[in-house]
Amino acid sequence: MVKILGISGSLRRASFNTGLMQAAAVDAPDGVEFETATLHGIPLYDGDVEAKDGIPEAVTGLKQKIMAADGVILFTPEYNNSIPGVFKNAIDWLSRPSADIAKVFRGRHFALAGTSPGNFGTILSQNAWLPVMRTLGAELWSGKRLMLPRAETLFDENGTLSDAEAGARLSAFVKAFADFAGAESSR
C-alpha cells in the first residue's frame, strides 16, 4: 500500500484546491491510501514564539503525517502569480527546527498540483515552489505537474469536481505519482 498525503494550500472553506484534493482522495487508485491535510491551526511563523513555546501542535501533527507518507502532493493555489503566503508560512514552520528539514523533506517525494480561475492553472505558483523544494532537499517529481485552468467551470455548486476530463487528468496524475513514490520508497 502506497501512502500519499495531499496538503491543500488554501484556508477557504470553498477552496477549489481543497476540492481538487478531496476529489483525489475519493478517487484514489487501488493500492493507494490517500490522506488529506489542511493548514488550519498553523500560526504565522515567529522565531520568538518558536523560542518561547516551541513548535505548535498543528505543525508537529502535519510533520508526522508527511514523515509517514511515501509521497506528498501540494495542492497549491496561485495568489498574485506566486505561492500563497499561508502555504509558504506552513512550509517555513515545517522546516523548524532546521534539524527537522532532513526528516521532513530530504529525499521525500513531492508533487505539485493546482487549479485556479485563470487561464494558466497554477503554473506560476508551481514554478515558485521549485527553488523552495530544492532548498529543502525534497525529491520533486518531475514526471508531471497538474495545472487546471478556469476552476469555476470544473466544480459544481457543492465544490465537487464535476468535469470529467479534469477528473481523468487528476486520476492519471495521482496514479503516476503513487507508482513513482511507491517504487522509489521500496528501494
> What are 89-121's pLDDT values in tens digits?
999 999 999 999 999 999 999 999 999 999 999
Residues in the chain predicted with pLDDT less than 50, given as ranges, are none
What residues does each domain of the chain span? 2-185
* CB-based contact 66:110 (threshold 8 Å): no
Q: Would the pTM count as exceeding 0.85?
A: yes
- Grid-cell match 512550509, residue found: 91
Structural class in CATH, domain 2-185: alpha beta
C-alpha cell at 102: 532532513
